[in-house]
Amino acid sequence: MRKQIAAANWKMNLSKNEADSLLDQLVASELNLSENQSAIFAVPAIYIPLAIQKLAGKQQMFVAAQNCHQKANGAYTGEIAASMYASVGVNHIVLGHSERREFFAESDSLLAEKTEAVLAIGSTPIFCCGEPLSIREAGTQNSFVEAQLKNALFQLSADQIIKVVIAYEPIWAIGTGKTATSAQAQEIHAYIRSVFASKYGQTVADQISILYGGSVKAANAKEIFSQPDVDGGLVGGASLIATEFTAIINALKS
């Protein structure tokens, strides 16, 4: 079975004291992660040392960065390279979140560079894709998402692509309270897998974890995660509440 993942995206939230408290609550929660499951915490960069300290020794629990620069080093004030994250123990990096695409104009070509940079140092990209409401209403979400994947990832070899985690995020369902139905989630996750199968073959496509990200909460996680092509979730707001995110982790397929 593919790796089942519950990934928390804290975005730009929480004070240091709030982050400290949330991590303590999560560590104290009853989480029984199997070798096939992971809980990943994409925290603001300033809290990475704190999260690493709190999660030390916890099996199948990892700290992630929310972004990185595409270059290995250089005169890029304020930026952080993937290798810098790796040097402090962070080996998962979220790339191409819809907010990065919208507010920071990140293009598919830039994300191709970032993905290659993360893979080059042996870390795991969590690559985001997904459509806005206008595309969904027009019924062209499949071709829209397919273009994102092809433009940013199809330069990768088969050995590289199986190291990438995909996070499908319907932009119209992020922070809106709207959620794709489990059937809608399964439909596009299956389509995404077929896109990879067309390029790399079904055997490779079946090894790629594809997460759903769009108003996942404790109340709907189990139903969404039960779908055959949904391998967990990338969770925003609900990941800031310990009881909610614990329930979401426990909803992963075993």
* Active centre residues (catalytic): 97, 169
Sequence-ordered list of residues with C-beta below 8 angstroms from that of 132, at least 6 positions apart, any chain:
171, 172
Helices (DSSP H) in 58-162: which residue ranges?
82-87, 98-103, 108-120, 133-138, 141-153, 158-161
Q: Is 165 helix (H, G, I), strand (E, B) or coil?
A: strand
What are φ and ψ of residue 234, in 5° steps?
-105, 115
What are φ and ψ of residue 201, in 5° steps?
95, 155
DSSP 108-134: HHHHHHHHHHHHHTT-EEEEEE---HH
H or E element at residue 211: strand 210-212
Sequence-ordered list of residues with C-beta below 8 angstroms from that of 1, at least 6 positions apart, any chain:
36, 253
